[in-house]
Amino acid sequence: MTHTIPYPDWQATLDEKARTFLETARERVAENGAEVLPVLFPQLPRRLGREIPGSGLAVVQGRVWDWGAWRACDLAALELVEEAEIPGSMRVDLFLHGDMEERLMAMRTLVPAPVTDATIELLGEAQRTNTVPHFEAAICDSNLLVRALEHSAFGIEDFNRMVLKLAFIDLPLSRVLQATEHANEDLSRMLQDLATEREAAGRAVWADTNRMIARAPTAGTLARLIGGLEHGDDRQRLAAAEGMAALPKRSELAELARERWEREPRPQIRTALEKITAP
Amino acid sequence: MRIFEPHAHMFSRVTDDYERMALAGIRAILEPAFWLGQNRTSVGTFIDYFDTIIGWERFRAQQFGIHHFCTMGLNPREANDDRVNDDVMAILPRYLEKDSVLGVGEIGLDDQTPKEEKYFLGQIELAKQHELPVLIHTPHRDKKKGFERMIDLIKDSGFPMERVLLDHGNEETIKITKDLGLYSGFSIYPHTKMDPRRMVSILKEYGMERMIINSAADWGISDPLLVPKTCIALEQAGFPDEAIEQLVWDNPITFFEQEGGRLDRAELEKPANIDRRETWDGNSVLRGQDPEKY
């Protein structure tokens, strides 16, 4: 198994007690294998801490993730699961019988690993359980969701459902790396329907809706984008402007964008509008 | 008055109980793993129950502003059942390391059989290995003899007395336990076992040191508000606020506090964070209400 060494010196922020614990845990794993993980995993957050010791993007064999989302306990969990050469069934077991923190670590340690049957099963759990920290650990701050499409048991319909859940719980699209590359008309329709439903109920609409639907326009997309330019919420207006800038035929909207630009008070939105009018 | 309720089986209670308990000042609850009213026939049902009391039940309490903890153990009734006893012992180590697990319990004797003693001692050893205190259920029948037998077993095991909570005590058992250095627990029930008036008398005679009271509320006729009700009875009897707080806040926290940071006093200073947009396993305490308004 290829070991993913976390960024150098990640343990520098640990105190001596935590370092000793991790050292002992590694020895226990080396001696007994994965069978000790169910006893070690629950201890990691309280022994190693929940601070985030570093940051930076990792790119390994097409797998991309942001160390800035990894807490000390997550990093230790990664070292232990790799040391143990954890079988997929154990990953699933750690999630199913884990507390909040264990479940989070079980999800996060999927991110640097190859996509296997266990990955797909756990992504299904993230989708089904709808618990925000677990959902975040599974699909945010990495390109795991996109990589999952390489697996025969995970299709574009599964991808769409996950993005729809992202919208439902209002997490930023930018945290799911490379997701916009897989925009599709069916997803646009799903997101637009959710937005309409929310609007009818007087509830907030996912601010990234317009960013995603513009990449694969379907019936109603253009009207929603144009309407978004007049939205009273700055985030919605910005997303509409950025979405329009990503449209394949944006030049047709240049006149509208220019007109809005003259009235737009926010510099960031004005910049986005300029991209629509650019030749 | 802040209250740490150190023995309530919330698994078998309804959301109204949580609401009333929070309003009555109960800031934290400890839920000992227990017998569910009928015997289980496989270890799988224990696993699901243990997962529930570290998962959904903890979440449910939090949704009402209450911090939730538990103890894990093989209860004495099912220690007698060979369909489950060894298998439960095998799964306990992983559960004894969970963040919300503050002790081993409730364990002890019920019918006072050799098998109960075997698994009681086995779990005392687990408590030593995992550096946890023990919450001990005492027999409802032949209680005095059961108390004395358990004290002998604990002494022989070398387990530190200050990490032992002998629960379900009464006027008779306190005479046995008062000088042993262990914690004495009293379960206050409507009409039986122990009531607020008798509890006041015991506390007048023996003081607050290493005394713990609880409701032991479960699926039977019991009242999860009996700790706050006893606080009122103590106030009426002239006990100062500091003494009552020692009984219902400091004592249980001191007993369950331990190395490793599972119980953070500072965290208990504030009610648990209520956020009804959150879910556990896709479930919430809401039934269609708008989480942003309710």
pLDDT at site A4: 65
A198 Cβ neighbours under 8 A, 6+ residues apart: A204, A205, A206
In chain B, residues with a C-beta closer than 8 Å to the C-beta of A21 are none
Q: Do the chains contact at A42 and B98, CB–CB below 8 Å?
A: yes
Residue type, A22: L
Burial B210-241 (b: 16+ CB within 10 A, else e): bbbbbbbbbeeebbbbbbbbbbebbeeeebee
**Residues on chain A touching B281 (C-beta within 8 angstroms):** 129, 131
Contact between chains at A99 and B100 (C-beta distance less than 8 A): yes
Residue A26: C-alpha distances to residues A10, A232, B193 (Å)? 16, 54, 50
pLDDT of B192 higher than 60: yes
A3 has a pLDDT exceeding 60? no
Q: What percent of chain A stands above pLDDT 70?
A: 98
Cα–Cα separations (whole angstroms), residue B174 to A237, B136, B154, B211? 71, 15, 17, 10
pLDDT tier for residue A279 given thresholds of 50, 70 and 90: confident
Report the distance separating Cα B290 and Cα B220, nearest Å: 33
Find, in chain B, the residue whose alpha carbon is nearest to that of A42: B98
Give a yes or no: residue B201 inside a domain.
Answer: yes
Which pair of structure tokens corresponds to residue A259?
């007109």
Question: Shortest Cα distance from A39 to chain B (angstroms)?
Answer: 4
Q: Say if B246 falls within a structural domain.
A: yes
At B227-272, the pLDDT tens digits run: 999 999 999 999 999 999 999 999 999 999 976 668 988 889 999 9
Give the ipTM of the model, two decimals please: 0.83
pLDDT value for A13: 87
Closest CA to B129 of B157, B109, B100, B170: B157
Provide mean pLDDT across the span B22-45: 96
CB contact under 8 A, B55 and A101: no
Token readout for A247 is: 């449209």
Arithmetic mean of pLDDT, A111-127: 97
Determine the Cα–Cα distance for residues B101 and A108; give it in Å rounded to an integer. 23
What pLDDT sits at residue B260? 60
Q: How many domains does chain B have?
A: 1
Amino acid A5: pLDDT = 65
Tell me whether residues A39 and B93 touch, CB distance under 8 A: yes
Range of the domain at B195: 3-268
Closest residue on chain B to A38 (Cα): B94
- Checking if the pLDDT of B135 tops 70, the result is yes
Calpha distance A229→A269 (Å, rounded): 9
Q: How large is the average pLDDT for residues A248-270?
A: 92
What is the structure's pLDDT at A129? 85
Reported confidence tier of residue B294, pLDDT bands at 50, 70, 90: low
* Interchain pair B99, A130: CB under 8 A: no
With respect to residue B76, please indicate whether it lies within any of the assigned structural domains: yes
Of the two residues B193 and A28, the one the predictor is more confident about is A28
Distances in whole angstroms, Cα of residue B275 to Cα of each of A137, A225, B10: 20, 33, 20
Q: Is the per-residue pLDDT at A235 higher than 90?
A: yes
Q: Which of A46, A97, A203 sits opposite B260 (nearest CB)?
A: A46
Q: Mark yes or no for CB contact A45/B99 under 8 Å.
A: yes
> What average pLDDT does range A223-238 have in this prediction?
95
How far does the CA of residue A205 sit from the closest CA of chain B (Å)?
14
Inter-chain residue contact B97 with A43, CB threshold 8 Å: yes
Q: Kindly state the DSSP code that residue A211 receives in the 8-state scheme.
A: H
d(CA B256, CA A184): 54
Answer yes or no: is B279 within a domain.
no
Helix (H, G, I), strand (E, B) or coil at B135: strand
The band of A1, judged by pLDDT with boundaries at 50, 70 and 90, is very low
Residues ≥6 apart with Cβ < 8 Å to A136:
A69, A171, A175
Please indicate, yes or no, if residue B116 is contained in any of the structural domains. yes
Mean pLDDT of B9-32: 97
CATH number (domain holding residue B89): 3.20.20.140
Measured in degrees and rounded to the nearest 5, phi and psi for residue B62 equal -60, -35
Partner-chain residue, chosen from B55, B262, B282, that has the shortest CB–CB distance to A128 = B282
Mean pLDDT of chain A: 94
Alpha-carbon distance of A191 to A277, in angstroms, equals 26
Structure tokens at B163: 């990490």
A97 vs B47, B58, B93: nearest CB:
B47
Quickly list DSSP for B46-66. HHHHHHHHHTHHHHHHHTTT-
Q: Do B94 and A38 touch (CB under 8 A)?
A: yes
Contact A131 B94 (CB under 8 A): no
Query: What pLDDT score does B140 carry?
Result: 81
Tens digit of pLDDT for each residue in B57-74?
999 999 999 999 999 999
**Is a pLDDT exceeding 90 seen at residue B142?**
no
Mean local confidence (pLDDT), A25-50: 96
Contact A6, A70 (CB under 8 A): yes
Q: Report the alpha-carbon distance of residue A241 to residue A47 in Å, rounded.
A: 47
What is the tens place of the pLDDT at every residue in B198-220? 999 999 999 999 999 999 999 99
What residues contact A103, with CB distance under 8 A and at least 6 apart?
A: A94, A95, A131, A134
Burial B160-177 (b: 16+ CB within 10 A, else e): eeebbbbbbbbeebbeeb
Q: Does residue B151 sit within a domain?
A: yes
Domain assignment of residue B199, yes or no: yes
Lowest pLDDT segment from A73-82, A144-153, B228-237, B270-279: B270-279
3-state secondary structure B160-225: CHHHEEECCCCHHHHHHHCCCCCEEEEECCCCCCCCHHHHHHHHHHHCCCCEEEECCECCCCCCCC
Write down the mean pLDDT value for chain B: 94
Establish if B95 belongs to a structural domain: yes
Closest by Cα among B76, B120, B115, B69 to B96: B69
- Does the pLDDT at position A232 exceed 50? yes
d(CA B248, CA B38): 31
Residue numbers of A between 111 and 130 with CB closer than 8 Å to B: 128-130
Identify all chain A residues contacting B131, using CB atoms and an 8 Å cutoff.
none
Query: Residue B71 half-sphere exposure, CB side, CA atoms within 13 Å?
Result: 31
Is residue A156's pLDDT more than 80? yes
- Token readout for A77 is 């969990």
